[in-house]
Amino acid sequence: MEVQVERLPDARARVRVTVPAEDVTQAMDGAFKRLAKRYNIPGFRPGRAPRPVFERYVGRETLLRDAAEHLVEDRYPDAIQQAGVKPLARPDVQIDELEENGPLVFTAEMPVKPEVTLGDYRPALLEPLTVPEVTEEAIDAELQRVAEEEAQLVVATEEDPVEAGSRVVIKIRGTREGEEEPFADADDYPVTIGSGTALEGLELQLIGLHLHEQATVSLTYPDEYPDPSLAGKAVQFDVNIKEHKRRDVPPVDEELARARGFETVQELREDLTKSLRDRYEREAREQRLAAVLARLRGSVSVEVPEPMVRHQLDHQLQDLHHTLTHLGVDLDQYLSGRQITLEGLLEEMRPGAVQRVQDELILEAIAEAEGLQVSDEEVVAAVQSVADAYERPVNALVENLKVSGEFETVRGNLLVDKAAQLIREPQPEIA
């Protein structure tokens, strides 16, 4: 089998395949065995007519076309492997030559993963890993954060002002500018200052008020507010602080340390120091990866295939849907609230999707250049947690993944992860 490949613009490829004449002849024998039972030839039981009789009745062209269809299906995977291209969608196949006693020539055109020209990428891998020092000020801030997490709500006095973290119950009456009829009227409206559950402007203007104090709060609803009757409208709220609980933050002392499972404040401090150092190192490695990829995006030549961008957009949309579901909001409500169409949202997401695809292609090219590989055992280990979550034997899951082709997808994802990890870590041996 002869295979020729032509790279086309827009990350497409055309693969021309020539199947020898003897293979076509053999495929026609197989076509006769398949088709003979499908036709009723006068004077013969199904499948019993001699081939010359069958060909006179049905036509030799029928055998030739069936043989060609099966040859294309059979030889296409090997041809793609031989051509060294990675299709991103089903090909458009065209039969170019098909004659009796002659070869079969067909072309398959499809979007493919592009060739990435890395150039001299190694200097980028020498980006320094700069880890900030863990300062005493940072540790003190962490100790204060821990104390705030241990804070308890206590009943406030009339002298205690409402502040961030306070929980209040207010009597509230809201009117639109120029109207007397209230659009909001509640005797017991709970608000946690800083939670974002009420309008941000309303929460902020409650800060500094005291128990039983009355006040008038004026603000304007955002233009993108989901309720059209309030979007962009100036309103006025008459409020009265009926209940107030403030956060009582404990001091940083031995009792706080014991609440966190340590005997002394020094032990808690040492643990927080280690946690901060680990976090700084993780963040530094992610920043290093981002910096290297940013440099390579500017210097590496790579086409971004549209099917990969669409696939990435689908993933981003699924992630958004998952997040909205946890918030109790569906996609239509989200789009309505933002006053944007789905098409507009996808266009908004597109630049990020294009960048993620670029990064994926660059990392795949680095993995190939560095000789990185992912074994079958590593793929199985990666899907073990999925099998455990669904209480399924991992071998059964692996077989399903191989049948669907997802096994190689997982391998590809792990390979990209390996390349990313190579960049995250300092590479002193690379010169």
User: What integer is the mean pLDDT of 83-90?
Assistant: 88
Number of domains the chain is built from: 3
Report the predicted TM-score, pTM, of the whole model to 2 decimal places: 0.71
Helices 21-35 and 51-58 cross at an angle (nearest 10°) of: 90
Domain check: are 83 and 144 in the same one? no
Any domain includes 390 = no
Rounded to whole angstroms, what are the CA distances from 249 to 149, 150, 151, 193?
A: 8, 7, 4, 16
Any domain includes 412 = no
Any domain includes 356 = no
Domain check: are 99 and 180 in the same one? no
pLDDT of amino acid 427: 65
Domain check: are 135 and 277 in the same one? yes
Residue 157, number of CB atoms within 10 A of its CB: 10
pLDDT of amino acid 431: 42
pLDDT of amino acid 200: 60
Any domain includes 408 = no
Of 248, 266, 285, which closes a domain?
Answer: 248
pLDDT of 368 higher than 70 = yes
Domain check: are 29 and 56 in the same one? yes
Asked which of 145-154, 337-346, 407-416 is least confident by mean pLDDT, the reply is: 337-346
pLDDT of 35 higher than 50 = yes
Residue 295, number of CB atoms within 10 A of its CB: 15
Per-residue pLDDT tens over the stretch 164-219: 899 999 999 999 988 889 988 999 999 999 887 776 678 889 999 999 999 999 99
Structural domain harbouring 100: 2-111
**pLDDT band per the 50, 70, 90 thresholds, residue 267:** very high
Domain check: are 282 and 139 in the same one? yes
Cα Rg of the chain, angstroms: 34
What backbone torsions phi and psi does residue 155 show, to the nearest 5 degrees?
-65, 130
Rounded to whole angstroms, how far apart are CA atoms 118 and 297?
A: 10
Of 270, 288, 303, which closes a domain?
Answer: 303
* E strand or H helix at 52: helix 51-58
Which string of DSSP letters, residue by residue, matches 156-222?
--TTSPP-TT-EEEEEEEEEETT--S-SEEEEEEEEETTSSSS-HHHHHHHTT--TT-EEEEEEE--
User: What integer is the mean pLDDT of 336-345?
Assistant: 86
Q: Which DSSP symbol is given to 112? A: B
Q: Summarize the chain as % helix, strand, coil (round to 5).
A: 50, 20, 30
Domain check: are 184 and 212 in the same one? yes
